[in-house]
Structure 1
Amino acid sequence: MAHIPIEAVPYLESAIYLPMLLIVLEKDYELIEHGQFKLKRPYVHLIEEAKKLAQRDLQDVKAYLKSHYLKVVQGERDELFTEYHFHYKQILEVRRYSNIRLRNRVEELLNLYLNKASQAHSAIQ
């Protein structure tokens, strides 16, 4: 039985996590923009840079998926799990992810991208 190539799994999972990360960054951006911050600009710039980096990586992931005939579709979801369908040519693989695992991974990515954004900003100065 044929399977999805193991080297494709990180790209498929990035196609799940990066859009979630972008949603979190966008919501945080809105909260800061409309919040009672004295100095908003540093936070806004940090989030904008993190969004740019994540969007660039998501573009690369989408290009990889397209060139390798891969697709991710969200399936059913409940309080504990979210199902994702990984399509590869004529193969369908269904994987269930714990919602807690999804949240924790997005939080890890948030830290990673904010650090990258901060380093990129420091390198410019």
Structure 2
Amino acid sequence: MRYLNDEELQLASRFLFLSMAMVVIQQDIQNIRHGTFKIKEPYIDLLEKMNTEAANERRKLRKTMQDKKIRVVTLNKNDSFSSYLFLCRGREEKRNYFNPAIRKKVETIIQELMQKALLPYQQYDSANT
């Protein structure tokens, strides 16, 4: 049974998956820095811009969640599923996510962040053609 409304659930879910995307981006930055890439800087710059975009969005989400008294708590994780508890003004809702579905959501967020980070370059290219 659903105890959180759509807006509350959407807000908490976005915060959760955006946080996961930030972890992936930070790990990728470290992997590139310590990897065998010949030219690392463009990749690191892009990932750092993506991380900044994500941090700014997450900061706004966190503020909104504090105002609405919404929290997300990790319950358990195993090879197939991860469980989270969404809390809002005394109401709680437990949600189980299939790990490949989480991966797909995080990948979608990373693609959104990449588009935002590349937008200034795309505008520059279209102005010069």
Q: TM-score, normalised by structure 2?
A: 0.88
Cα deviation for residue 35 of structure 1 reads 1.6
The answer to whether 1:80 aligns with 2:80 is yes
Residue in structure 1 matched with residue 104 of structure 2 by the alignment: 104
> 5+ unaligned residues in a row in structure 1: which ranges?
none
Distance (Å, rounded) in 2 between the aligned partners of 1:10 and 1:2: 13
Contact 1:17 1:105 (C-alpha < 8 Å) held by counterparts: yes
Distance (Å, rounded) in 1 between the aligned partners of 2:79 and 2:8: 28
Distance (Å, rounded) in 2 between the aligned partners of 1:9 and 1:2: 9
Residue in structure 2 matched with residue 51 of structure 1 by the alignment: 51
Residue in structure 2 matched with residue 26 of structure 1 by the alignment: 26
Residues 84-125 of structure 1 show CA distances to partners (whole Å, capped at 9, x for unaligned) of: 101111111111111111011111111111121111344478
Residue in structure 2 matched with residue 71 of structure 1 by the alignment: 71
Residue in structure 2 matched with residue 115 of structure 1 by the alignment: 115
Residue in structure 2 matched with residue 11 of structure 1 by the alignment: 11
Contact 1:2 1:91 (C-alpha < 8 Å) held by counterparts: no
Provide the aligned length of Structure 1 versus Structure 2.
Answer: 125
Does the residue aligned with 1:3 lie in a helix, a strand or coil?
coil
Identity %: 25
114-123 or 98-107: bigger deviation: 114-123
> 5+ unaligned residues in a row in structure 2: which ranges?
none
Q: TM-score, normalised by structure 1?
A: 0.91
Letter in 2 for 1:83: S
Residues 13-58 of structure 1 show CA distances to partners (whole Å, capped at 9, x for unaligned) of: 0121011111110111011111222211111110000000000111
Does the residue aligned with 1:73 lie in a helix, a strand or coil?
strand
